[in-house]
């Protein structure tokens, strides 16, 4: 597309050169500046007006040559312009169709609403975890540098969420600039997919409860979390850095992972001691979360594992894969 516009620029330059040469030629034939320019433009454009000043024999030959070169340059510039515009429209249309086909084939992906600083940071973490992503934003220029499938539009509209594949998505993140918009996005997504996991961004403390009432499973206030992390680095710098490394350092051998126990899991109804998680997988269960949302850290070996419990374990990738197979 860039080369096509370069061709159009060259065609315009050629046409301008023809006009300049024609004007200089008529000036040499004794025309005034305005008459020379006027005569050149009407000749090149093949308008067919009469000559503004009498032409000598040499002037007639010059005019015939100008018609041949000028009309050719004009037609070339016009054809390149039409070709460029049509090609640009086709590229945009084909690009949108290709994007729609890509999104329609996706499943269990994460929809990120808002391609600002927060959205980009979320996408980076998701991509590092090999999660498929669809990005929605109302500013088309911001989506130009997005490497993920995108949908241009207002995420508060149901049709835009449908275009992003909300019917097949595993989660949605509402991370646009305003709390009101995030509330509308959460309400729309919850009404369309009651079981969808939704994380919403809050800019103010007052909005956190409103977003929860709107249907968000988790509400995150970046300013509050940023302040807490900065305080943690002051109070417990080594602990804070270790947690950051375990959670976000992808080259680290050991990291934290969570495992939901399904109803048909072979571990359901057994104790941690009977399951022999450590012996069979090598992963260490650090905590359990029950169906009410309460955490139990360092759970005892006689703790019964129930369907719906979440095991939080630390280990290597291979150990986590073994635990995932064990959980079923």
Query: What CATH number does the domain containing 276 carry?
Result: 3.30.70.1450
Point out the domain boundary residue: 102, 118, 147.
102
The answer to whether residue 164 scores a pLDDT higher than 60 is yes
Q: What is the DSSP letter of 144?
A: G
Q: Are residues 118 and 194 in the same domain?
A: yes
Mean pLDDT of the chain: 85
Q: Is residue 125 part of a domain?
A: yes
Residue 134 and residue 52 share a domain: no
Per-residue confidence at 41, pLDDT binned at 50, 70, 90? Answer: confident
User: How far is the C-alpha of 15 from the C-alpha of 58, rounded, in Å?
Assistant: 23
Q: Are residues 278 and 201 in the same domain?
A: no
Pair (26, 88) in one structural domain: yes
Does 141 reside within a domain? yes
17 within some domain: yes
**Looking at the predicted structure, is the pLDDT value of residue 200 above 50?**
yes
89 and 68, same structural domain? yes
Task: For residue 149, give the CATH number of its domain.
Answer: 3.40.50.720
CA pair distance 132, 107, nearest whole angstrom: 8
pLDDT digits (tens, 9 = 90+) for 13-28: 888 888 898 889 888 8
β-sheet bridge partners, residue 310: 260, 289
Alpha carbon distances (Å) from 167 to 90, 158, 164, 192, 214: 29, 11, 9, 8, 19
- Give the mean model confidence (pLDDT) for residues 192-218: 92
Write out the H or E segment, with its range, that includes residue 94. Answer: helix 57-104
Q: Are 114 and 216 found together in one domain?
A: yes
Residues 96 and 122 in one domain: no
The answer for residues whose C-beta is within 8 angstroms of residue 327's C-beta and 6 or more apart is 259, 260, 261, 262, 265, 267, 311
Same domain, residue pair 202 and 120: yes
Residue 210: both structure tokens together: 């409103």
- Pair 96, 114 in one domain: no
164's tokens: 């992003």
pLDDT value of residue 5: 62
- 274, 228 in Cβ contact below 8 A? no
The answer as to whether 323 is a domain residue is yes
Answer yes or no: is 232 within a domain. no
For residue 72, give its domain range. 2-102
196 inside domain: yes
Would you call 320 exposed, middle or buried from its count of C-beta atoms within 10 A (0-12, 13-18, 19+)? buried
Note whether residue 227 is domain-resident.
no
Sign of CA dihedral 115, 102, 156, 128: negative
Residues 165 and 192: beta-carbon distance below 8 Å? no
Site of tokens 């359990």: 288
Contact between 259 and 324 (Cβ < 8 Å) = yes
Residues 193 and 213 in one domain: yes
Specify whether 123 is located in the same domain as 177: yes
Domain boundary among 102, 130, 154: 102
The residue among 205, 220, 235 that closes a domain is: 220
The pair of structure tokens assigned to 263 is 């109803």
Neighbouring C-beta atoms of residue 33, cutoff 10 Å = 10
Instruction: Note whether residue 301 is domain-resident.
Output: yes
Instruction: Starting at the earlier edge strand, list the strands of the sheet with 284-289.
Output: 255-260, 310-315, 284-289, 295-297
Q: What is the pLDDT of residue 2?
A: 45
pLDDT surpassing 70 at residue 48: no
Q: Residue 173 pairs with which residues in a beta bridge? A: 112, 199
pLDDT digits (tens, 9 = 90+) for 165-175: 999 999 999 99
Residue 1 DSSP class: -
In this prediction, residue 233 has a pLDDT band, given cuts at 50, 70 and 90, of: confident
- Mean pLDDT for 291-318 is 88
Number of domains in the chain: 3
Q: Are residues 207 and 264 in the same domain?
A: no
Provide the pLDDT confidence category of residue 160 given band limits of 50, 70 and 90. Answer: very high
pTM of the predicted structure, to 2 decimals: 0.61
Torsion 60-63-65-71 (CA) sign: negative
Segment (H or E) for 203: none
Please measure the distance between the N-terminal and C-terminal CA atoms of the chain and give it in whole angstroms. Answer: 51
């Amino acid at each position: 597309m860039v080369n096509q516009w370069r061709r159009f620029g060259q065609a315009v330059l050629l046409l301008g050169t023809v006009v300049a040469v024609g004007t200089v030629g008529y000036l040499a034939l004794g025309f005034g500046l305005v008459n020379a320019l006027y005569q050149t433009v009407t000749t090149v454009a093949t308008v067919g007006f009469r000559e503004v000043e009498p032409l000598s024999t040499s002037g007639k030959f010059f005019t015939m040559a100008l018609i041949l070169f000028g009309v050719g340059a004009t037609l070339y510039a016009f054809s390149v312009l039409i070709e460029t515009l049509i090609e640009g429209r086709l590229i945009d249309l084909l690009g949108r169709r290709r994007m729609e086909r890509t999104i329609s084939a996706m499943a269990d992906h994460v929809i990120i609403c808002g391609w600002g600083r927060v959205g980009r940071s979320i996408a980076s973490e998701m991509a590092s975890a090999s999660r498929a992503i669809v990005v929605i934003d109302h500013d088309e220029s911001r989506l130009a540098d997005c490497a993920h499938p995108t949908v241009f539009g207002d995420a508060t509209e149901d049709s835009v969420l449908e275009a992003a594949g909300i019917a097949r998505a595993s989660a949605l993140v509402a991370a646009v600039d305003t709390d009101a918009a995030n509330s509308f996005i959460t309400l729309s997504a919850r009404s369309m997919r009651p079981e969808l996991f939704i994380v919403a961004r809050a800019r103010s403390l007052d909005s956190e409860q409103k977003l929860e009432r709107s249907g968000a499973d988790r509400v995150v206030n970046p300013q509050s979390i940023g302040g807490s992390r900065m305080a943690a680095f002051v109070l417990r710098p080594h602990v804070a850095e270790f947690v950051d490394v375990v959670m976000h350092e992808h080259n680290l051998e050991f990291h934290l992972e969570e495992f939901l126990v399904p109803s048909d899991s072979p571990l359901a109804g057994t104790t941690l001691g009977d399951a022999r998680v450590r012996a069979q997988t090598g992963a260490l269960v650090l905590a359990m979360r029950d169906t009410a949302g309460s955490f139990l850290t360092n759970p005892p070996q006689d703790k019964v594992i129930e369907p719906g419990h979440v095991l939080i374990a630390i280990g290597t990738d291979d150990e986590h894969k073994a635990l995932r197979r064990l959980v079923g």
